[in-house]
């Protein structure tokens, strides 16, 4: 009984900390409309900072608290608002989420770089050693402090948001920023206050929760992330419900941890992961029980899903395979092993295009689906392509099942639910010890997965060189598949779902079927990616966890999440040692890699269409200029020839290749008469081939734009009506 | 009479697309000017320039003798330019009372705001804690108009106050506008209900394709419109 009581009190105290964290999250969301994925990471960095000033520098407790909670955290929040969040107006929810995910990754990277992991950094509880004896149970003062902090936050926020003009203005700003200005208030100021407060609350929760575990970046961040379920419980707007949710999660984890040891010893290993994943399970349950979100009306964003041309796609596919075939012989076996993950990562990146890029469903589970693919492939052990099909099938079915309860939801809810699913898998399901299905023993990851090298129609592809090229072929085929999807009627539906779900529903298309379909399809592609990953090196659970998946997403977004070129970029950047090699000796890139990716990711707010969209015109210029294109091919071939004949080494080879690429763009640009702009190039060729194509806004046709047959044809093309044979005939009579 | 608002050759637009190509307009203190014109003519854009939401790309925005190009909307609002924008001018997720509290700038207290608003629109008094978004369109516009009533502005900009409302409701709103006009508030009114607007107005302008195409006394504009209408038929 005493045990039960003290566990309950402990649960409430943990819940109180979650409540502080979650209310900060709800505050920023309800007043700015941005869900701050990095909230947990901000709390984590604040805890480290508190350790730095309090423990390392020996500042007194009050001074340290003021420095972190009232100075550093609010300043960070204000900076965040001014430098990043303010620029995100007019971007999609996906972009805004990705920016905060970048921030999370950046802060993780920053803290690892600042406070090297491995050192023991003890954090003392508040009033450590003091205990309140009450009804036979002993309550540490730290728990009382946590409860008091939560109560103060609850009362303070209530007074602020409902009682003061500033607070009401903060709430009003989400509804209508310009109307706030017309009422004589500055919406920017409200947003700044909101971010400052949100960061302070994150910091407070971080400092309160840090003493419960050793100060370590990722676990501490994820611990605060546990509170996100509470925020969802409050539907991201109700603070009282958020507090209830926080208490539920606090109690659940407290009972889970407290009673785990009461389980039979042989069951404990199976349940341990489940206890770790409890908050994720609560989050999943809450998201599943949420009422359907209202379908969004048409949104007009400054983001464009360029329609890729077959020419470009085939060029990319050929370049991938030929490039791999040229590169592979140049590398030693050791180098091939370290570069082996390139195509697997690229395929996982590719799998994000239909689901995230086209349909706007922010799935954070793609790498987990890849994990299922890897497990299926390795356990089946077939070396031929049918093994890949099996991996695709398993991962596709899992992804489809995950999508089923999500079809009613949108935006951040999809992101959070898939994140929770991923956490459930990487903390519980994947690390499960051996169990039996029927009479057959089974274990997802027996340590690491056995490597199954590919084998094709009797041709042995087991050498690292051959399997690298094989992987590039698989990537090339899947890239073509993705382009085909984008160009199909299904692809048009995916984009329609992203841009105007309500309109799609009223047009008689089942939004649910399309969503499940795209999840299953993307999951299947990711599954093949996982299989390819596990065919190059022994795969382990940690390769498929949430934190491993985020950089892929970010590099994809930076590269342009709808472009098939971006996955190559992701593969090279994350699956090969190239970035580290290029910088070796100058800069410890490995240590700063995540911080850098985060920083770059944050910049997508500036150019939400990604690098590919920016590079695309350069590529088109080169292609349009035959002599320059020919010269480029000759230059690339020559450099390779020099390298393969051992005339030059790797360094000069890379330099020559880059010089050839940059030089060709420069030449093409110089040779192009200034008068001819790219738009004209397009109209000369008569294709609406991408981001730079002039867009006709349907509702303006006939009003400000003359109603010509060409315009209607262009619209049909854009809406994919032409293929459906519904082209509208425009009569030229009248006038 | 003194000139309250003067626009000289105002040019404005969106993303490099010019919508207003040089608008001249004078509003005397305490007078009512009706701005009419076809859809897409630039009426809303013009009001957005005057309210400070959109910085003009050319010309002068002069309020009370001072050139105020580029002054933020919040500052202009505090200086006495009250705007009821196109669509519903309320915060749908705030209660009626909270919406009223948003109007407490210009030195009016909360209870004062409530008293004045409820005296003007008794219907609102029964709904203080109702969330504004759940009220009828007419009630929402009353609440929006309450801002003009309680802050006592020098200049009131009304953009299609009547949009989507039944004629009887519109009539009620227009009576309130009329009272404001008689109290000496200068009003620029953009309306689809041309006759109702012309009844209130001292002067009217017609804007088409971003230019003032006609300007004069209400009666004269009414005749012109009628001629244009029957002429085109
Ligand atoms: N935010 C915007 N971005 C781009 N163009 C805009 C924007 N707002 C208005 N426009 C364009 O400016 C022109 C004038 O619009 P405005 O809203 O001022 O017209 P209006 O006279 O108020 O029309 P209505 O009677 O339909 O309200 C239109 O062609 C419109 O498409
Ligand atoms: Mg208008």
All domains in chain B, ordered by first residue? 1-80+190-233 (3.40.50.300)
Q: How far is B162 from chain A (nearest CA, A)?
A: 18
pLDDT in tens, A482-539: 999 988 888 888 888 777 667 777 777 788 889 999 999 999 999 999 999 988 888 8
Categorize the per-residue pLDDT at B233 as very low, low, confident or very high, splitting at 50, 70 and 90.
very low
User: In the A/B pair of chains, how many CB contacts fall below 8 A?
Assistant: 64
Dist. CA A273–CA A224, nearest whole Å: 18
Residue A646 CB-density burial (10 A; 0-12 exposed, 13-18 middle, 19+ buried):
exposed
A2-289 CATH choice from 1.20.58, 1.10.3470, 1.10.287, 3.20.20: 1.10.3470
> A728 pLDDT exceeds 50?
no
Q: How far is B81 from chain A (nearest CA, A)?
A: 8
Dist. CA A354–CA A335, nearest whole Å: 32
- A244 vs A645, which has greater pLDDT? A244
Q: Does ligand 1 come within 6 angstroms of the Cβ of B209?
A: no
What ipTM describes this predicted complex?
0.90
- What is the pTM (predicted TM-score) of this model? 0.79
Quick count: other Cβ atoms within 10 Å of Cβ B178? Answer: 15
Dist. CA A35–CA A546, nearest whole Å: 18
> Which of B14, B91, B96 best probes binding to A when mutated, by most A CB atoms within 10 angstroms?
B91
pLDDT in tens, A526-585: 999 999 998 888 888 888 988 888 888 888 887 778 888 889 888 887 877 655 555 444
* Helix (H) and strand (E) counts in chain A: 33, 6
**Residue A600, phi then psi, degrees to nearest 5:** -65, -40
Dist. CA A541–CA A261, nearest whole Å: 25
Domain ranges of chain A: 2-289, 310-546, 678-724
Nearest CA in chain A to B78: A184
Give the Å distances, CA to CA, from A517 to A243, A308, A398, A410: 37, 21, 12, 16
- A704 vs A324, which has greater pLDDT? A324
Closest in B53, B72, B103 to A183, CB measured: B103
- A267 vs B53, which has greater pLDDT? B53
Structure tokens at A273: 């992961």
Atom of ligand 1 at shortest distance to CA of A703? 29
Categorize the per-residue pLDDT at A726 as very low, low, confident or very high, splitting at 50, 70 and 90.
very low
Dist. CA A236–CA A286, nearest whole Å: 12
pLDDT in tens, A388-412: 999 999 999 999 999 988 888 777 8
Chain B CB within 8 Å of residue A253 CB: no
Least confident residue range of A136-145, A433-442, A471-480: A433-442
- A665 vs A305, which has greater pLDDT? A665
| Residue with token string 């290749």 | A657
Nearest protein Cα to ligand 1, atom 17:
B44
Give the Å distances, CA to CA, from A553 to A284, A354, A362: 21, 13, 10
> Which of B92, B101, B105 best probes binding to A when mutated, by most A CB atoms within 10 angstroms?
B101
Using the CB atoms, write b or e for A127-164: b if 16+ within 10 Å: eeeeeeeeeebebbbbbbbbbebbeebbeebeebbeee
pLDDT in tens, B136-175: 988 999 999 988 888 888 899 999 988 888 888 888 889 9
Q: What is the pLDDT of residue A458?
A: 65
- For residue B17, the ligand closest to its alpha carbon is 1
pLDDT in tens, B64-114: 888 888 888 888 888 889 999 988 789 998 999 999 988 877 667 788 888
What sign does the dihedral A452-A457-A463-A469 (CA atoms) show? negative
> A607 pLDDT exceeds 80?
no
Residue A630 CB-density burial (10 A; 0-12 exposed, 13-18 middle, 19+ buried):
exposed
């Amino acid at each position: 009984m005493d045990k039960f009581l003290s566990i309950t009190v402990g649960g409430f105290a943990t819940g109180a900390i979650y409540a502080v964290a979650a209310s900060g999250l709800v505050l920023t969301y309800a007043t700015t409309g941005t869900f701050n994925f990095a909230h947990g990471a901000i709390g984590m960095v604040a805890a480290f900072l508190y350790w730095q000033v309090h423990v390392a520098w020996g500042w007194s407790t009050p001074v340290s608290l003021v420095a972190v909670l009232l100075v550093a955290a609010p300043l960070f929040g204000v900076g965040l608002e001014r430098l990043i969040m303010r620029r995100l107006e007019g971007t999609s929810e996906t972009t805004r989420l990705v920016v905060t995910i970048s921030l999370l990754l950046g802060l993780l990277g920053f803290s690892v770089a600042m406070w090297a992991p491995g050192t023991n950094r003890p954090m003392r509880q508040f009033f450590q050693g003091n205990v309140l004896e009450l009804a036979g149970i002993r309550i540490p003062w730290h728990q009382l402090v946590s409860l008091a902090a939560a109560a103060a936050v609850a009362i303070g926020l209530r007074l602020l948001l409902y009682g003061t003009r500033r607070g009401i203005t903060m709430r009003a700003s989400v509804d209508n920023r310009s109307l706030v200005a017309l009422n004589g208030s500055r919406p920017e100021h409200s947003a700044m206050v909101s971010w400052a407060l949100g960061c302070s609350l994150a910091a407070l929760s971080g400092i309160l929760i840090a003493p419960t575990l050793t100060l370590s970046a990722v676990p501490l961040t994820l611990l605060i992330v546990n509170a996100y379920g509470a925020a969802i419980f409050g539907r991201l707007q109700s603070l009282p419900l958020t507090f209830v949710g926080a208490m539920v999660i606090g109690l659940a984890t407290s009972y889970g941890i407290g009673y785990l040891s009461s389980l039979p010893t042989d069951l404990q290993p199976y349940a341990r992961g489940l206890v770790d994943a409890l908050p994720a399970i609560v989050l999943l349950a809450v998201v599943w029980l949420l009422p359907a979100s209202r379908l969004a009306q048409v949104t007009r964003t400054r983001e464009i899903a360029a329609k890729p041309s077959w020419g470009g796609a085939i060029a990319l596919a050929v370049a991938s395979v030929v490039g791999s075939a040229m590169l592979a012989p140049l590398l030693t076996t050791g180098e091939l092993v370290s570069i082996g993950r390139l195509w697997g990562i690229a395929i996982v990146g590719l799998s994000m295009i239909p689901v995230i890029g086209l349909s706007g469903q922010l799935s954070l589970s793609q790498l987990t689906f890849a994990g299922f693919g890897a497990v299926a492939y390795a356990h089946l052990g077939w070396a031929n392509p049918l093994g890949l099909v099996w991996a695709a099938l398993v991962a596709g079915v899992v992804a489809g099942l995950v999508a089923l309860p999500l079809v009613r939801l949108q935006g951040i809810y999809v992101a959070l639910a898939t994140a929770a699913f991923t956490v459930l898998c990487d903390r519980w399901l994947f690390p499960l010890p051996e169990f039996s299905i029927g009479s057959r023993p089974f274990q997802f990851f027996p340590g690491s997965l056995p490597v199954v090298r590919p084998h094709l129609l009797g041709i042995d592809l087991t050498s690292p060189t051959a399997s690298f090229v094989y992987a590039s072929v698989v990537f090339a085929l899947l890239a073509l598949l993705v382009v085909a999807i984008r160009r199909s009627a299904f692809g048009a539906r995916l984009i329609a779902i992203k841009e105007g779900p309500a309109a799609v529903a009223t047009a008689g298309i089942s939004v649910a079927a399309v969503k499940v379909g795209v999840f299953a399809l993307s999951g299947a592609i990711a599954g093949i990616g996982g299989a390819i990953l596990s065919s190059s090196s022994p795969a382990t659970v940690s390769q498929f966890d949430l934190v491993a998946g985020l950089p892929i997403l970010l590099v994809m977004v930076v590269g342009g999440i709808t472009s098939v070129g971006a996955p190559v970029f992701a593969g090279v950047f994350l699956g090969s040692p190239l970035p580290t090699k290029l910088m070796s000796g100058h800069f410890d890139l490995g240590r700063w890699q995540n911080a850098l990716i985060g920083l770059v990711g944050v910049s997508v707010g500036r150019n939400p269409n990604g690098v590919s969209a920016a590079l695309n015109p350069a590529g088109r210029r080169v292609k349009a200029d035959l002599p320059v294109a020919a010269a480029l091919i000759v230059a690339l071939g020559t450099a390779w020839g020099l390298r393969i004949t051992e005339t030059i080494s790797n360094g000069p080879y890379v330099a020559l290749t880059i010089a050839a690429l940059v030089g060709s763009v420069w030449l093409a640009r110089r040779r192009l008469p200034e008068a001819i702009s790219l738009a004209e190039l397009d109209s000369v060729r008569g294709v609406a081939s991408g981001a730079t194509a002039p867009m006709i806004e349907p509702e303006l046709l006939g009003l400000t734009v003359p109603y010509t047959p060409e315009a209607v044809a262009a619209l049909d093309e854009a809406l994919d009506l032409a293929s459906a044979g519904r082209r509208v005939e425009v009569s030229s009579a009248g006038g | 009479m003194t000139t309250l608002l003067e626009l000289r050759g105002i040019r404005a637009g969106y993303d490099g697309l010019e919508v207003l190509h040089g608008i001249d307009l004078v509003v005397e203190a305490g007078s009512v000017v009706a701005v009419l014109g076809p859809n897409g003519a630039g009426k809303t854009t013009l009001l957005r320039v005057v309210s400070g939401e959109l910085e003009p790309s050319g010309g002068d925005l002069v309020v009370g003798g001072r050139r105020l190009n580029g002054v933020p909307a919040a500052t202009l609002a505090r200086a006495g330019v009250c705007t009821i924008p196109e669509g519903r001018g309320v915060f749908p997720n705030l209660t009626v009372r909270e919406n009223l509290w948003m109007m407490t700038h210009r030195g009016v207290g909360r209870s004062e705001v409530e008293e004045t608003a409820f005296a003007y629109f008794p219907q609102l008094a029964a709904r203080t804690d109702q969330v504004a978004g759940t009220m009828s369109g007419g009630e929402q516009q009353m609440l929006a108009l309450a801002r003009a009533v309680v802050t006592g502005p020098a200049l009131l900009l009304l953009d299609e106050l009547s949009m989507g409302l039944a004629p009887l409701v519109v009539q009620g709103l227009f009576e309130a506008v009329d009272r404001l006009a008689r109290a000496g508030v200068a009003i620029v009114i953009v309306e689809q209900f041309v006759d109702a607007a012309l009844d209130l107005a001292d002067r009217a302008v017609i804007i088409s394709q971003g230019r003032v195409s006609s300007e004069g006394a209400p009666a004269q504009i009414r005749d012109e419109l009628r001629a244009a209408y029957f002429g085109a038929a």
